[in-house]
Structure 1
Amino acid sequence: MCIGIPMRVVAGNEFAAQCERHGKTTTISLMLVGPQPPGTHILTHLGSAIRVLEAEEARAIDDALASLAEAVEGRE
């Protein structure tokens, strides 16, 4: 199963961006989506941005991932 992770662009250039999620910054390739300005939400997979997201969609994906983690840990 493949899971995309939503992240927010902090800074970057035409090829890569520093992206943040929950306080952790990671370098993400922008080769599939093109340059994105700071503040843009992207869906990432294996170090690459695969799609640009609206803020609401990024939040919904993040909430779903949090719920999945809680279920795996046996929390309600």
Structure 2
Amino acid sequence: MCIGIPMQVIEDGLTHARCRDPRGAEVVIDLLLTGPQPQGAWLMTFLGAARAVLDEHEAQHSLAAVRALDTLLAGGTPDLDAAFADLVGRTPQLPDFLRPPR
């Protein structure tokens, strides 16, 4: 399974930024796909590169899901309904780009 990790820019740069991951570690992230981002910006990252810029709501929503998965991996019992609130009570839908042509 591949999973993107939301990170917040703590020091901006032209092609790379120092970011903080959900566990508080500092990581240098490649910005070639998103362009330069200001301090405080939220990025969805994968394999050391920013793939998308997130707004605050998207970032917090993704962080809740990542923290729930961390809790599960540590043997805990997270509140999955809260962590994945956008999926509760509905069938998840594929994004348009993953749907077969009509």
The 10-residue stretch of structure 1 (43-52 or 66-75) with the greater mean CA deviation from structure 2: 66-75
Shift of 1:56: 1.3
Unpaired segments of 5 or more residues in structure 1?
none
Counterparts of 2:44 and 2:36, CA distance in 1: 14
Unpaired segments of 5 or more residues in structure 2?
78-102
Could you list the runs of 4 or more consecutive aligned residues of structure 1 that deviate by over 6 angstroms after TM superposition?
none
Equivalences, count: 76
Could you tell me the TM-score, scaled by structure 2's length?
Answer: 0.69
Q: What residue number does 1:7 align with?
A: 7
1:42 pairs with 2:20:
no
Could you tell me the TM-score, scaled by structure 1's length?
Answer: 0.90
C-alpha root-mean-square deviation of aligned residues, in Å? Answer: 1.2
Tell which structure's C-alpha radius of gyration is larger.
2
Q: What residue number does 1:54 align with?
A: 55
Q: What residue number does 1:33 align with?
A: 34
The structure with higher relative contact order (CA 8 Å, sep 6+) is: 1
Bigger strand share: 1
Counterparts of 1:71 and 1:25, CA distance in 2: 23
